[in-house]
Structures are given as C-alpha cells and as structure tokens.
C-alpha cells in the first residue's frame, strides 16, 4: 500500500483484519531494525538460552496478517528475510535456530510506505517489490473525507466540511513549498480539538498549520485560509 501519511493505510489494514476475523501483527519499521527483530532470537535467562519468536514468525505460525508499516525505513538486508515467505515456497527459515517454519494457510503479509519520501537510499529492491500486488492510496474525496471527520470525532458535518476545505487548499500547495499536504489524520485532530471546546481558528492553527511547516510565508497563507473559512 503506497500513499501519503495519514490517508488511511493503517486503518484499512485494521479494518481488513477485523472483517476477515484474523489477528493483526503490526511492525513499525526503522533503520536500526535487524532480521532478528522480525524473525526471532535466542535470549539469555536464568535457565540458559531460550528462543523467542519475532513478530513475523508468530504471524506465519498462527496465520495472522503481518503488517510492516513504513517498510522502506528498514534496511534492504533486513527486508530480504520476507523473500522465502512471499513466493511459492511460503516458508520462513529460522537460520539461527535451524528450523523451517511453513506459513499457515491464512498468513498474509502487507507492507506500506509513503512514495513521497522515497529517496535512492530508501527504496525497496525490485526483488522485494515484485512479490506483492500494489494498491495506491490517497486522501479521500471531499464528501467521503467529511464523513470520516464527522464519524471519527462527532463534530457537526458543517464544521467537518470546512476543515476538509482547508485540507484541500493546503494539498494544492504540495510541491510549492509544502512537502506534504494536511492529512486526514490532522483534520481528525483539529476536529477533536474543536469538539473539545477549542475555538476553530485556534484548533486549525495548532493542529493543521503549525505541525506541517515552519515557513513563515506558507504559514501566513494557510492561516489566511483558516480565517476565511472560519469567520
């Protein structure tokens, strides 16, 4: 799943797991992560050494959905441990333990990343990419996003609609000084503040504008859009 931050990728996987009635095991990937963090390792305790399965191994054994969030953050030599699991073999070799774990028939692997942040250093190998089907995610269209903000927070649809208008204005600035638009997640945060009694203009400044940019001119432009929307 590829798409900007806060557009609903993780929510989609959570919903899918709920709908299919499967356990979901989420791993937030980072560059310090090693293959052992995914697969498992021997631990020392009072009785000697004890093997502890990592999250990927647990998921493969019990037939869970394993979700590797922000997978491009992991180093490529870490990511290759999924290769034998994600082709016709469907096995996970635990090299250090000398065990081959056959994946449960229900085991599924989902990975996500934000292609906007991609650099040459942070990309998936073609050999990894070509083991998956791809799904493009983007911010929802205004009517749907308004419904999401309303349902997630309980604000009235009018307020939600105004927040969505501001979000769309900001998304048009992407590439013109903004690296990333105002996400659905931020609209939900702003609506939550408003629902809690914060004045809409203040809520928008705090939740929508200040987090995404330090550029004085762009802040002024967005603040202006906020003031025009919540008069």
Ligand X SMILES: Nc1ncnc2c1ncn2[C@@H]1O[C@H](COP(=O)(O)OP(=O)(O)O)[C@@H](O)[C@H]1O
Q: In the complex, which residues of this chain contact ligand X (CB under 6 A)? A: 3, 5-11, 140, 148, 152, 184-185, 188
Minimum CB separation of residue 65 from ligand X in Å reads 15
**Residue 205 binding result from Mg ion, ligand X, none, given CB thresholds of 5 to 8 Å by partner type:** none
3-state helix, strand, coil in the chain (%, to 5): 45, 15, 35
Minimum CB separation of residue 77 from ligand X in Å reads 25
Closest CB to ligand X among residues 10, 213: 10
Of 104, 18, 126, nearest in space to 59 by CA:
104
Please state, in angstroms and rounded to a whole number, the distance separating the CA atoms of residues 62 and 82. Answer: 16
Minimum CB separation of residue 6 from ligand X in Å reads 5
Closest CB to Mg ion among residues 68, 92: 68
Tell me the residue nearest to Mg ion as measured from the CB: 10
Tell me the residue nearest to ligand X as measured from the CB: 8
**Residue 188 binding result from Mg ion, ligand X, none, given CB thresholds of 5 to 8 Å by partner type:** ligand X
Query: Do 200 and 158 meet the contact criterion of CB atoms below 8 Å apart?
Result: no
Closest CB to Mg ion among residues 24, 169: 24
Count of residues of this chain found to bind Mg ion when the rule CB under 5 A is applied: 1
Collapsing DSSP states into helix, strand and coil, what is residue 30? coil
Q: How far is CA 208 from CA 182, 223, 229, in A?
A: 6, 9, 13
- What residues are paired with 68 via a beta bridge? 27, 111
Query: Do 128 and 79 meet the contact criterion of CB atoms below 8 Å apart?
Result: yes
**E runs forming strands in 32-82:** 40-45, 48-53, 65-69
- Beta strand 40-45 with 48-53: parallel, antiparallel or unpaired? antiparallel
Binding mask 3-32 for Mg ion (x = CB under 5 A): -------x----------------------
Closest CB to Mg ion among residues 15, 42: 15
Minimum CB separation of residue 130 from Mg ion in Å reads 23
Minimum CB separation of residue 9 from Mg ion in Å reads 5
**Residue 86 binding result from Mg ion, ligand X, none, given CB thresholds of 5 to 8 Å by partner type:** none
Q: How far is CA 70 from CA 64, 124, 135, 171, in A?
A: 19, 11, 15, 22
- What residues are paired with 69 via a beta bridge? 28
**Residue 181 binding result from Mg ion, ligand X, none, given CB thresholds of 5 to 8 Å by partner type:** none
Give the binding site for Mg ion (CB under 5 A): 10
């Amino acid at each position: 799943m590829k798409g900007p931050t806060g557009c609903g990728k993780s929510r989609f996987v959570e919903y899918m797991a709920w709908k299919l009635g499967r356990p979901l095991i989420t791993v937030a990937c980072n560059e310090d992560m090693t293959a052992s963090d995914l697969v498992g390792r021997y631990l020392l305790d009072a009785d000697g050494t004890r093997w502890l399965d990592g999250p990927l191994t647990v998921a493969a054994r019990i037939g869970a959905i394993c979700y590797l969030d922000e997978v491009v953050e992991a180093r490529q030599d870490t990511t290759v441990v999924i290769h034998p699991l994600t082709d016709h073999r469907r096995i996970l070799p635990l090299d250090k333990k000398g065990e081959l774990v056959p994946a449960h028939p229900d085991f599924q692997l989902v990975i996500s990343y934000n292609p906007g942040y991609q650099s040459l250093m942070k990309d998936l190998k073609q050999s990894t990419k070509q083991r998956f089907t791809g799904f493009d995610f983007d911010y929802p269209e205004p009517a749907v996003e308004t419904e999401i903000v309303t349902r997630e927070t309980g604000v009235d649809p009018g307020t939600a609609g105004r927040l969505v208008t501001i979000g769309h204005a900001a998304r048009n600035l992407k590439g013109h000084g903004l690296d990333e638009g105002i996400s659905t997640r931020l609209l939900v945060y702003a609506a939550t503040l408003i629902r809690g009694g914060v004045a809409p203009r203040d809520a928008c400044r705090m939740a929508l504008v200040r987090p995404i940019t330090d550029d004085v001119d762009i802040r002024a432009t967005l603040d202006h859009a906020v003031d025009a929307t919540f008069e």
